[in-house]
Each structure stands twice: as C-alpha cells, then as structure tokens.
Chain A
Amino acid sequence: MRLHKKGLSTLTKLVREEPALWMGHPLKRKEDRRLLTGLGKFVDDIKLPGMAYAAILRSPYAHARILGIDVSKAERLEGVVCTLVGEEVAKLTDPFLQISSPPANKLKDYCLAVGKVHFAGEPVAAVVAETRSTAEDALELIDAEYEAVDHVLDAKEALKPGAPVIHEEVGSNVVFRGKWDYGDINAAMKQADKVVKKTLHFHRFSSTPIENNAVLAQYDKATGFLNVYSNNQMPMFCIPWVSFALKFPSNRIRMVTGDVGGGFGTKIISYPYIVLISLLAMRSGRPVKWIETRTEHLSAANHGNERMFEVEIPVKNDGTILGLKVKAWDDCGAYTRYEPAGATIWAQVTPGCYRFKNFQMEFLQVMTSKCPVGPNRGYSRMQHLWMIERSVDIVARELGLDPTEVRLKNFIRPEEMPYVTPSGGVYDGGNYPESLSRVLKLIDYWRWRKEQVEERKKGRLIGIGISTILDSGTNNFGQVKITNPENPFSGNSEGARISIDGLGGIQVALGTSPQGQGHETFASQVVADEFGVSPDQVTVLMGFDSAVNPYSHQSGAYASRCAVMGTGALLGAAKKVKEKAAKIAAHVLKADPESIEFKEGHAVDRDSGRKIPLWQIGNIAWVNNVLLPEGMEPGLVAIHFWRPDFGLPDEKWRLNQTLTYSYQSHAAVIEMDPETGKFKILKYAIVDDCGKQINPMIVEGQVHGAAAHGIGAAMYENFEYDEDGQLKSSTLVDYLVPTALEVPDLVTESMETPSLFAPKGIKGVGEGGGTPISAIANAVEDALTPYGVEISDSHQNPQRIYELIVKKRKKM
C-alpha cells in the first residue's frame, strides 16, 4: 500500500497548484511528446511479419471501355505475389452500398473498375509484391487495353440530351433533383425595390492532408478476423460498405487507426481501398500494405464539391434582403460514394446568418467524368455560404451601401436565439452583430476604408473583404432521408468508456478516432474535472481500435462533432462510474451516497468531511469485492452512448440538421496589382465563437488551420481538367498548397456564447465554414471597384482577374 500513498501525495501536490477547472484551460497536448520525437504511430510505421506491398494501376482515360487487362507478365516478375483485376472483383465482391434514391442508386461501384473506366485515375488493377518497388515495377508489365468513349466534364453539359452517360445502369447523369421552398419567394420578388441576379461558380479543391490515404490489411486464417489498419476518419461508419462489399461478417472486421496525418474530410471515403487491400490480403495470405502516392491522392482520392449557382435576391433599397431564390448544379464527379449527402447538407445553414424567410432552392446533383467528390472541411455548407456571402456583397454594391451595413441590417439578432431557420435549423445562440463589429475593430476597418480612397488616388488598389459565416457541427444523419427516405441513418451518437482500475488508475476510451485535433487532451480535461484529479492522472487511449474502444457506427472525427459528442459520452460515462463509486465510498464511510463528491483524487463525504481515495474504491470494486455493498456487481467501469435530441425531416424537408452553430467573422485587406491580377493579403483578422471552449489553445489552432485552408482555396488550390479529362494539377508542383510565405499572420479573437443545447455549452469547431473564400472574393471585387470588375468565381486566379481587368479597360 505504500506505493499508493506515494502516488497520492504527488497527486495532491499537483492538484493544489492547478486551476479549479481544467475545462477552459490551454493545457499542453498529451499527444505531442510522441509526435515531436518521431514516435508517432502512423499506418506506414506499422510492420507486420510477412508483410507485402500493393500498388495500383490506374486509368489514363477519362471515359473508356476496358477491352482487356493482361497481368500474365506482371505475375511472372520475380517478387510478385499476386494480382487482381476488375472482372475478378465483380465476382468476389458486391458493388458498394448506394444512398441515392432510384435510379441513381443502381450505380455499380467496385474497388476496381469493371468493364469501363469513368475518370482518369480510376483503379483498374492491383499487384502485391515483396517490396514497394517490385509492386510498382510490375504495374509497368500489365497490358491494359482501352477503347476511349466520349466524356463530359461540366455538370450542365452532362444534363443535355445526348451527353455521354457515365453509368449506363443509371440511365442519365442525374444523382438528385430536389426543391426546397419556404415562405413566399414570388411575393418577395413583387415587394422588392430591386432583384439582384448573379451566376456564380464554386471551384474544385481539396484539403490534401500531408499524410496520404493508407491501408494495411491482414486476414487472420486462425481466427477468421480481418484486421484493417487504416487512416479512415469514420472507420466504423464504413463497416456496412466494407462488410457488404466483401460479403464478410461485420463482427469479424477489426478496424484500427493510430495517429492520422490530417483528414479534413478527405479520408472519409477511402473504403474502396480498404476493400481492395483486404481482398489482396485474403488472396495472397499475407498482410498487405498500401500507401497512396501524392499523385494518386490528388487525382483519385476525393475532391470537394464543385457547384454552380444562379441566384436571384429580392431587396429593398435600404438593404433589407427579402429572400433568396437559387438554382444550383452540383458536380459530384464519376461516383456518388458519400453523395448525395452533400445535396442536402448545405441546408444546415439555409439562410446563413440572415433573417430572410423566403427561400427557394432548386438543387441538381450531376455526375461527370472527373474524380469523385467527398466531404471536405466545411462540406457542402462552404459552397452554400460562399454563395450567400458573395451575394450579400453584390447586393451592397448594387445598392451603393457598405457591405457591413447590409450585414448588420439583415443579421439574425441575439435576442431571437434560439432561432428557427426556414428549413427547420435551430441556431443555438450567438451574437453575429457583435462578432462583425469586433472583427471590424480588429482589422481597423474604417481606417482602411479611408486609406483605400486616398490610395486609389495614387493608383494603389486596396480591397477590404468581410464575411460572417456559420460553422455548423454535429450533423443529424436524418438529413440523408431527404434524398432517400429508405436510408437507414438518422441522428448522431458517440461512445465513451471510463474505468477506474484496482490501483485507482483512470482510463478513458472514445470512439472519436482523431486526426490531430487533440482528443487525448480534451478528454483528459473533461474527465479530470469530473473526478477532481489532474489530466495527468487520466489516460486516454490513442487512436481507435474496434476491438478495444467503444463506438457507435456514427463514431469518428468529422462534422466538427467530437468536442460536443465526445463530451456528451464522457459525461454520461463519468456519471455512471461516479454513482457506483459513490455507493462504494458511502458504504465504507457509512455515509449517504448523495453526499459523496469527488475531489483531489478522493471520494469525500460532504457531511462529515471524511474521505477515501479513489484507489481504495477501485481496490474494493475489482479485487476486494467482499467489501462491496450487498448485491453490487464487481468492477468499476462504464460505457455511455450519447445522442443529441434530433428529429426527421417533415414533408417540407424541415429538420434541425445539426446540433451546434458556431460562427466566425473574417476580414481581409488585400492589395491588388492590376497589371498582373496578382494580389497579396496585407492584414487578416478573425473573430470566432464556438461556445464554451474546453482548450482555447486547441480551438485557436483549429481556427488558424481552417483559415489557411480557405486562403489556399481562394488564392492557390484548384483542380482543373484539360479537355481530355486529364487533371492538370496532379502533383504538388501544380496543385499549390500554400507555404508559410503565402499564409499571412492571422489576428484572432474569441467570443464564448454558450450553446443552448450542447453539453457544457460547447459548440463544435474545426471546419471554419470556408470563410476566407468569400472574404477574399469580396476583397478582390472591392479592390477592383475602379474597374467595375465583378467576381463570380470562388478561385481568385490572377490570370482570370487580369483578363477581367483587360476586358473592362477595353470598354472604358
């Protein structure tokens, strides 16, 4: 027992020097020591005995019939273990589950192309060999013969009669067609002083984490288990896709993730690779590792949704926005995968931060001969919010008002919270006017406005752009019932387990499978407060292992959900453990369980002040159980699954699609060179509000990261295809991820308006809503006011800007 006492004296010492509550404290991250010393556990770091390596042959064509694939030469290469082609995959597996409604759900998606390739980069064959290099050598020995057929790269073109059909079994390229109609948009048009009209385009890009996709699969013949080590972001959500495709029992698939080198949504739809590598592991009888190359990632992992909008905005001359009428064409590439989820997820934030009630959206999602899309930081809302924030600035310009004035006039007011949007979203608190005024102060908006006028006289073009955007988190899967009521998904849930072992050690396991968001740290903080201990006394398991961690099939790190969902599950599990521990303590102390509280590593009787240490409670629960209260089950561990109170869509597709609605205001000041179309950011400021913060340091890091992604998307990153359907930016030479020289210093400030609905007033954070994409578009148009250039694209390509300037000059 001396050991325990020693441990406890250290604990007591620690506690006295520590803050009253760990929640809200910028605690240094628990994950960092291993990551800083090269001891991180990423998929490619794992080596299993007898491991072999896979390489994938990909289609050079955007659309072609496969005439034949001859692997015989490859199979004869020394060191090659086995090969696999699409025809074999069609016999061995079932096509992946589709969540579209008929006829789009007839689409057949396999882990290797069967009969036809649908985009350049689609996998057509795979090789397993003793080494990575031998596997790659073998690809060159495969003879694949194709017959190219017409392809289509534009969503509107893909809808025309006679357009090439990507998937014949679907009959057309349409995935989803839907109409949302709230209020009375036609009446709003009639009341309007003016109807502002605009066509807008949101470009293709992706968050491109530095670690590419990776899978290591091992089929254990002895136990019949398929062990999959991957960096998938929702490893248990993809179980139905993997299990049905492989026709392999779900209860013998073990999914493991470790450290993950960034995800941002792009690692959600990697299940075709999980299935492919699993098949190769079964065929070869060897553990098989596959590490995606950067070119494979850029050309064939997933892109963000490309979207075109035709917008009509009825307004009053004073800047009041009466409604929004939109037609949207969403280009989801060659396969649907997670789509058509994106065709409804934008409606989490139907009116953005604005009060207008009249809203109409006709939404069409279309397939083209390009890389399939998938969730990407700010998934689907980013496109929609960009359209709204761009529209608000266009309204301001056309009415001769300052963009801040139009925003302040139309913002939902803090006293209207909780605010119900036309599509049934329930905003959980916030003060948008304050957020905007704070960011204006932070960037010194009115001084810049004056300077802009002065500088223009000297021929210097300054532009100021602002944007206030919602960053919705914790999605309600019920939204996918809009596209197909048969979809077996709704709500959201997460699991956590907390145990206090026989020596008093607290261990926590979560289903959240992080990719750098610091879940070990925030969970330690939450649990430390519950038990009155230091976060150092709480061990949180790293990564995720379905054989070890509790999970729901909605577990994972996506949709800015983990702080909220994880905390909900942790608080539930802590409550259960504490209730039982209190009963044991009360039994020992002969006290009332109701008067037991937990502080400084002890259970304390509030009435008498007498206490017993946690280790003693653990000892009784696990190995000294004769001392337990009569009839009590031994052990001191609890699993809790938490779910928010969500509903299903009504007949008008109204539902609260997400639990929390964080928001951010961004302000950018840029300087434009009209001779080149190139511009630089002079100053960038952000005010974020994600409710109560568990760890402000981590929150600020998320705000920085999301802003950098938005800045990269607005200024540099673009997936462009040539007319043959070849991706022009398939390496980091052409796909311009911003470096430290391109991302400016970011000035940030936080507000903390507690969520009205989420545990402890927390709101999700991380995605950032793609705010810089509109702030920068607005700044560019503002800078070019003297030329009257209108910005209708989300990507501010200097060449295109220059062309727009030249066009205007010709007219001047």
Chain B
Amino acid sequence: MKLAKLTQKDDLVQIRCKVNGDAYTGTVEPRTLLVYFLRDVLNLTGTHVGCDTGHCGACTVIMDGKTVKSCMVLAVQAEGASILTVEGLAKGENLHPIQEAFWENHGLQCGYCTPGMLMSSLFLLQRNPNPTDEEIRRGIDGNLCRCTGYVNIVKSIKAAAKKMRGVEVTA
C-alpha cells in the first residue's frame, strides 16, 4: 500500500505574477519557495540557491520594488506581485549599466553570487544614486561572495552609480 503524499494533488495552488514584465501562471505545492518557483517552474535559473538560512543572498530578487531573498519567501506570497530577476536586467543585447560595470571592473569570478549581488546593487542605487564605499558595503552585506573579497564589487557598484547618474566613466 502506498502512503499518501504529504501534499495532496488538490492542495496545489495556482500562482499568478509578473516576472520581468511578463505575466506567468504556475501551479505549485503551497510549501514551494519562491526561488524554486522561479527556477523549476518558470525555468528562470539565473537566481541561485547557496544556503538554507537566508544568509548567502544568491537568491535575491526584487519583488514589488524591494529586495527579497527568494528562498525566504513562499511562492504563494508572490501572488499578484511584480518580480524582477537577473534575467530582466538587460534590454535585449544591451546590458544594464550595473552589469556593464561589474564586467568592466572584474566584479565577478565564478558568477554564482552575481545575480543576487546585481539585484541588491540595483536596489541600493535606486534609493541612493551616489553611495559612499561604506553605504555600498552596507547595501550588499546580505550577499556573500567568496571569490572577489568584495573589493571589485564595491568598485563596480561605484562605477555603476556613475553610469546611472550619467557621469562619463573611463574604466
């Protein structure tokens, strides 16, 4: 005799939300985390998982204008929300100024933390277009990186701030 699955089929819930401007509908178990909804249901695999306690920040996305760690949010909480992931930063072939700045300043190595780092950087620069080094470091203190020692990430975000303010940048 088969034991009943902990979640019954009729317990599945439908989620409707906007991701990177596109409307999506998906069906998930109620316990599904937003990050797995994005990765496994919507196939947006740019958002990464690096821990199970909300500390590494690799899964950071912007939900209704605020950064969230998508491993700390249930998919059902995203019902009706508008979400921005790393896949939504570039416009076609044109990279977002933050992406350009990370590229030009070697702000990434293995690239695993990068999607979350980019989203936290964007959130920071939207609120504070001209941050000091200290403010940048505070802005990304929820995102762990093990490759760069953060030096070039701070440099990248400073360069991105300049780009976004329209200041001429010589990399």
Contacts and interface: CB of A to CB of B under 8 A. Distances in A.
B106 A77 contact: no
Q: Taking each of B46, B49, B109, B114, which has the highest tally of chain A beta carbons within 10 Å of its own beta carbon?
A: B109
Interface string B115-139: 1001000000000000001001110
Chain A interface mostly: loop
Interface string A6-31: 00000000000000000000001101
Given A32-B103, A739-B144, A705 B109 contact: yes
A701 B86 CA distance: 23
Contacts of A210: 48, 50, 56, 58, 110, 112-113, 144-146
A731 B53 CA distance: 7
A111 B47 CA distance: 30
B116 to A, nearest CB: 9
Interface in A612-641: none
Contact of A40 (B39, B111, B138, B142): B111
A137 B49 CA distance: 20
Chain B interface mostly: loop
A261 B103 contact: no
Interface stretch (B3-11, B73-81, B162-170): B3-11
A688 B32 CA distance: 47
Contacts of B141: 739-741
A207 B146 CA distance: 8
Contact of A701 (B46, B109, B143, B144): B109
Contacts of A261: 48, 50, 110-113
B21 interface: no
B106 A700 contact: yes
A707 B47 contact: no
B149 A746 contact: yes
A37 B150 contact: no
A417 interface: no
Nearest to A41: B45
Given A259-B112, A261-B50, A739-B137, 19 more contacts: A29-B103, A35-B110, A36-B86, A37-B46, A73-B3, A76-B2, A209-B110, A210-B112, A211-B110, A261-B48, A294-B51, A294-B52, A701-B106, A705-B146, A707-B149, A737-B55, A739-B140, A740-B143, A741-B137
Interface string B89-116: 1100001000100111010111111110
Contacts of A295: 52
A78 B112 contact: no
B60 interface: no
Interface stretch (A513-521, A720-728, A779-787): A513-521
24 contacts: A36-B86, A36-B95, A37-B87, A38-B115, A45-B45, A77-B6, A134-B5, A207-B146, A210-B110, A210-B145, A210-B146, A261-B48, A264-B146, A293-B52, A295-B52, A516-B111, A698-B106, A732-B53, A739-B142, A739-B144, A739-B150, A743-B150, A745-B133, A745-B151
B31 interface: yes
Q: Taking each of A37, A212, A745, which has the highest tally of chain B beta carbons within 10 Å of its own beta carbon?
A: A37
Closest 4 CB pairs of A and B: A38-B46, A516-B110, A261-B112, A35-B111
Contacts of A579: none
B109 A741 contact: no
A708 B154 CA distance: 14
A36 B109 contact: no
A746 B152 CA distance: 10
A42 interface: yes
Contacts of B83: none
B23 interface: no
Contact of A32 (B44, B48, B102): B102
B9 to A, nearest CB: 10
Interface string A252-273: 0000000111101000000000
Contact of B2 (A32, A78, A740): A78
A33 interface: yes
A697 interface: yes
Contacts of A709: 146
A707 to B, nearest CB: 6
Contact of A708 (B32, B95, B148): B148
A36 B104 CA distance: 12
Interface in B17-69: 29, 31-32, 36, 39, 44-53, 55-56, 58
Interface residues of B, number: 64
A44 B87 CA distance: 17
Contacts of B150: 708, 739-740, 743
A76 B4 CA distance: 8
A743 B152 CA distance: 12
Interface in A65-79: 73, 76-79
Contacts of A291: 49
A776 B3 CA distance: 57
Q: Taking each of B45, B56, B102, B112, which has the highest tally of chain A beta carbons within 10 Å of its own beta carbon?
A: B112
Nearest to A746: B151
A40 B5 contact: no
Q: Taking each of B99, B110, B112, which has the highest tally of chain A beta carbons within 10 Å of its own beta carbon?
A: B110
Interface of A: 28-29, 31-40, 42, 44-45, 73, 76-79, 132-134, 137, 141, 207-212, 259-262, 264, 291, 293-295, 515-518, 697-698, 700-701, 704-705, 707-709, 711, 731-733, 737, 739-741, 743, 745-746
B113 to A, nearest CB: 5
Nearest to A735: B55
Nearest to B137: A740
Contact of B50 (A29, A34, A294): A294
A731 B52 contact: yes
Given A37-B99, A294-B53, A737-B144, A259 B111 contact: yes
A648 to B, nearest CB: 35
Contact of B106 (A29, A208, A740, A741): A29
Contacts of A137: 5-6
A40 B46 contact: yes
B3 A737 contact: no
Contact of B112 (A31, A40, A132, A141): A40
Given A76-B1, A705-B149, A708-B150, A38 B49 contact: no
A32 B111 CA distance: 8
B70 interface: no
A76 B3 contact: yes
B137 to A, nearest CB: 4
A262 B138 contact: no
A134 B6 CA distance: 8
Contacts of B55: 731-733, 737
B21 to A, nearest CB: 15
Contacts of B108: 32, 35-36
Contact of A77 (B5, B47, B51, B58): B5
Nearest to B43: A47
A35 B109 CA distance: 9
A231 B31 CA distance: 28
B112 A36 contact: no
A294 B48 CA distance: 13
Given A29-B103, A259-B110, A704 B2 contact: no
Q: Taking each of B136, B138, B144, B147, which has the highest tally of chain A beta carbons within 10 Å of its own beta carbon?
A: B147
A52 to B, nearest CB: 13
Nearest to B2: A78
Contacts of A745: 133, 151, 154
B51 A732 contact: yes
A209 B112 contact: yes
Given A44-B45, A208-B146, A704-B149, A36 B106 contact: no
A253 B109 CA distance: 29
B103 A36 contact: yes
B149 A515 contact: no
A403 B94 CA distance: 53
Contact of A740 (B5, B49, B115, B136): B136
Contacts of B86: 36-38
B124 to A, nearest CB: 11
Contacts of B159: none
Q: Taking each of A212, A291, A709, which has the highest tally of chain B beta carbons within 10 Å of its own beta carbon?
A: A212
